[in-house]
Amino acid sequence: MKILMLNPPFLSRYSRQSRSPCVTKGGTIYFPYSIAYATGNLEKHGFNVKLVDAVANEWSETETLEFIRQFKPNLAVLDTSTPSIYNDVGIVSKTKDLGIRHVSLVGTHPTRLPEQTLNLSKNVDSVCRGEYDETVVALAEALEKGKNLKSVKGLSFRDGKKIVHNPDRPLIKNLDDMPFVSEVYRKHLDIKKYFYASLRWPQVTILTARGCPYNCSFCNIPFKSSYRYRSPENVASEFEYIQNELPYVREVMIEDDTFPVLKERTEKICSLLMERKIKLKWSCNARVNTDLETLKLMKKANCRLLCVGFETPSQKVLDNIHKNTTRQLQVDFMKNTKKAGLLVNGCFILGLPGDTKETMRETLEFAKELNPDTAQFYPLMVYPGTEAYDWAQRSGYLSTDDYSKWITKEGLHNTTVSRPEMSADELVKLCDQMRREYYLRGKYIVSKMAQVISHPGEFTRTLKSMRTFSKHLFKSSESC
C-alpha cells in the first residue's frame, strides 16, 4: 500500500505545527514534526510512505496535485490547523478526484471537532484523533486487509450516512520505540528549507517528551493531561545521529512543551551529551521554575536559548489562566539565565481573562525590564477545545465562528476575541505598537549590536530574521 503524508499547500511559509498556526513576522517555518513521527512509524511497519511538505517546497495546489497524480497513493493523510481547515478540506476534495481510496485528516482541530470536520465535506473519509502515530498504522492495515474500520481505535470515520467515533486510542507508553524524527527529515525533507528565527540555521526540531504536566487555559497543545518522555540514553543517541549524519546542522530545537520538567532527567541528558562529546548547540521550551543549578548545567551541555512563556506580570491574570507562576519567579528566572549565560525568547499575551488596558501596558514595561533577547507580543488566540475558547464563547466575546478569521489576510496572528473595553482589531494593533516600542529602544539596539560583535555566530541568525521581521515592524496588521 502506498501512503502519502501531506502538509498541504496554503499561504507561503505557513506553519501548521506551531501552537498558534500562522505566518510569522520573523520568517520562522516549522518542521511538520508530528506527521513526520507518524511517517517514521509507518515505515517501521513496512509501508511505502512519502512525506511531502508542500508549504516548505513552495508548491502551488496544482503542483501538489500533480505530485499526487504521479505517486498514486492508496491512502493520504493530511495535516490541518484551525485557520487553514477550510483550505485543507478543499484540497481533500481535489485529491479524491484523483482516485485516492481514503483520505484522513490529523491535527488538533479535527481531534477536538471530529464530527464538525467530517461534516465539512463528504470527501473527508476519516479523522485520526489525538496521538495518531499508531492510528494511521492501524488504519492502513485495515484498508489493506479489507477489515472493518470499527476496529481502529482513535478513528472517527464516515460509514455510509453515519459518522462513527471509535473508542480513544491509549497514548504511547514507550517513546523510545518511536523512530528518530531527524532520520525521517533526512530521508524525506530538505532541512535547509526550515528556519526558526531564534535559532542558528540550519536547525532540526525534535521531541524528547510528549504532553505537559501543566494546564494553561489558552494552550492549544495536545496531550495536556499526560507527560511521557524518552530515556536520556535515547535522546543522547539522537543527538549523536544528528551530529554524525547531518553535519551541516548547527542547532537542535527541543520542542517539548517544557523540556526541563524533571530535574534529574534533565541533568542526566546534559551529562550524557557531555560524555558523548556532542558539540551541537541546542535550545528548548522552558518554564520560569527552572533553577539556576539546572540552567548552568544546561549551558555547560551546549544549551543556547530558552523559549519561555511569561505572558503577564499580573498575578490575577496569571491565576486566571492557571499559569502557576509569579512575577517574582519570572524576575528571578531572568536573573538566573543571565548568570548562566543563556539567551531567552520571551512570549507575552495581551487580552487574557482579567487583562485591562492598564495591565497590558504593565506587560510591555515588564518585558522591557526583563529584556529577553527576543520578545513576542501576541493577542489572545482561542482554539476549540481549550478553556480559553469556552470562556470567550460563554462570555459572548467570540466575534466569529469562521475559522479562517483566526489569522489575518496575510496569515499573521489575529484574534477573534472582542470585549467591550477592547475590540479584536484594537488588540491586534496594540500588539504591533508594543512590538515596535520593545525593539526600537536604544538600549535594545545597542545590546543586539554588541551581541553580534562579541558572538559572530549570532550574526546570520539575527540578519536572516530581521530581514523578514523589519517588513512588519513599521506597519500594523490588518484584521480579516
206 and 134, same structural domain?
no
Instruction: Establish if 182 belongs to a structural domain.
Output: no
Instruction: Establish if 413 belongs to a structural domain.
Output: yes
Instruction: Establish if 191 belongs to a structural domain.
Output: no
Lowest mean pLDDT among 199-213, 283-297, 391-405, 465-479: 465-479
* Domain of residue 280, residue span: 196-473
pLDDT above 80 (res 470): no
The closest alpha carbon to 117, from 149, 158, 153, 148, belongs to 158
133 and 255, same structural domain?
no
Question: Residue 53 — φ and ψ, nearest 5°?
Answer: -110, 95
Instruction: State the pLDDT confidence band at 460, using cuts at 50, 70 and 90.
Output: low
Which of 148, 165, 182 is the C-terminal boundary of a domain?
165
pTM (2 decimals)? 0.94
Instruction: Establish if 10 belongs to a structural domain.
Output: yes
Instruction: Establish if 149 belongs to a structural domain.
Output: yes
Which of 126, 145, 165 is the C-terminal boundary of a domain?
165
**b/e string for 26-63 if b means 16 or more Cβ within 10 A?**
bbbbbbbbbbbbbbbbbbeeebebbbbbbbbbebeeee
Owner of C-alpha cell 502551488:
60
The pLDDT of 317-331, averaged and rounded, is: 97
The pLDDT of 295-322, averaged and rounded, is: 98
120 and 239, same structural domain?
no
Which of 165, 183, 214 is the C-terminal boundary of a domain?
165
Tell me the per-residue pLDDT of 124-137, one tens digit each, with 9 for 90 and over: 999 999 999 999 99
Lowest mean pLDDT among 35-49, 141-155, 218-232, 442-456: 442-456
Residue 46 is part of a domain; what is its CATH number?
Answer: 3.40.50.280
**pLDDT computed for residue 471 by the predictor:** 57
**pLDDT computed for residue 479 by the predictor:** 45
Domain count, the chain: 2
Instruction: Establish if 179 belongs to a structural domain.
Output: no
Instruction: State the pLDDT confidence band at 476, using cuts at 50, 70 and 90.
Output: low
The pLDDT of 284-304, averaged and rounded, is: 98
Q: Report the C-alpha gap between 107 and 411 in whole angstroms.
A: 19
Instruction: Establish if 176 belongs to a structural domain.
Output: no
**Gyration radius of the chain's alpha carbons:** 22
386 and 257, same structural domain?
yes
Instruction: Establish if 354 belongs to a structural domain.
Output: yes
389 and 271, same structural domain?
yes
pLDDT above 60 (res 473): no
Three-state SS for 344-362 is: EEEEEEECCCCCCHHHHHH
Tell me the per-residue pLDDT of 162-197, one tens digit each, with 9 for 90 and over: 999 999 999 999 999 999 999 999 999 999 999 999
Lowest mean pLDDT among 70-79, 162-171, 346-355, 466-475: 466-475
215 and 132, same structural domain?
no
Report the share of the chain in percent with pLDDT over 90: 88
pLDDT above 70 (res 399): yes
Task: Please report which helix (H) or strand (E) contains residue 53, including its range.
Answer: strand 48-53
Instruction: State the pLDDT confidence band at 454, using cuts at 50, 70 and 90.
Output: low
Q: Which long-range contacts (CB under 8 A, 24 or more apart) does 463-468 make?
A: 464/27, 464/195, 464/197, 464/201, 465/26, 465/27, 465/28, 465/195, 465/197, 465/198, 467/27, 468/25, 468/26, 468/27, 468/197
The answer to whether the beta carbons of residues 267 and 297 sit under 8 Å apart is yes
**b/e string for 136-169 if b means 16 or more Cβ within 10 A?**
bbbbbebbeeeeebeebebbbbbeeeebeebeeb
Q: Report the C-alpha gap between 337 and 242 in whole angstroms.
A: 26
Residue 294 is part of a domain; what is its CATH number?
Answer: 3.80.30.20
Tell me the per-residue pLDDT of 111-127, one tens digit each, with 9 for 90 and over: 999 999 999 999 999 99
